[in-house]
Amino acid sequence: MQIRTLLAGSALLALLAGCATGPSGGPGGAAVEPDEERYQGTLPCRNCDGIDLDVLMRGDEQAAAAERTFELNASYRGHPQSPPDETYAGNWEVLSGTANEPDATVYELTPDGEGQIYYFLRLDPQTLELIDPERRRFQNSEMLQLKRQ
């Protein structure tokens, strides 16, 4: 099962169903280097108890493009088909603004090879929120947030 399908389905589910999930208990205690930021959270899932996301971003906004890398890991909780965890890696860019917030910071995560491009709105230094490719927030967006660890 592809994460892009599940993310799109999860976002639509959040929009239509309005169900809530709790914060991720994800792997904690891992040391993070000063030029690394780790964000974790649980997205809603129609067929499971949630999709645990762990995003590690390396480099900073002023670094060369090749130095801005990420790893995204997705684990499915309580899925009846027990799909394997999915891992994506690639580079990230900083985009300026959204339609409603022209000064907002948006991170564009582009996986190497095949894979969907992910967009995260930086709400504050501790919170990222999954947004759509048009850089619009979803309804019930609090369910799509990752917290810095």
Predicted TM-score of the model (pTM): 0.76
* 63-86 residues labelled b (16+ CB within 10 A) or e (exposed): eeeeebbbbbbbbbeebeeebeeb
- Tell me, yes or no, whether 23 lies in a domain: no
- Tell me, yes or no, whether 105 lies in a domain: yes
Instruction: For residue 90, give its domain range.
Output: 34-146
| Local confidence pLDDT in tens for the 149 residues of the chain | 455 444 444 443 333 333 333 334 444 445 555 689 999 999 999 999 999 999 999 999 999 999 999 999 999 999 999 999 999 999 999 999 998 899 999 999 999 988 889 999 999 999 999 999 999 999 889 999 999 99
Count of structural domains within the chain: 1
- Tell me, yes or no, whether 110 lies in a domain: yes
- Tell me, yes or no, whether 19 lies in a domain: no
pLDDT tens, residue by residue, 57-98: 999 999 999 999 999 999 999 999 999 999 999 999 999 999
Closest CA to 121 of 136, 106, 110: 106
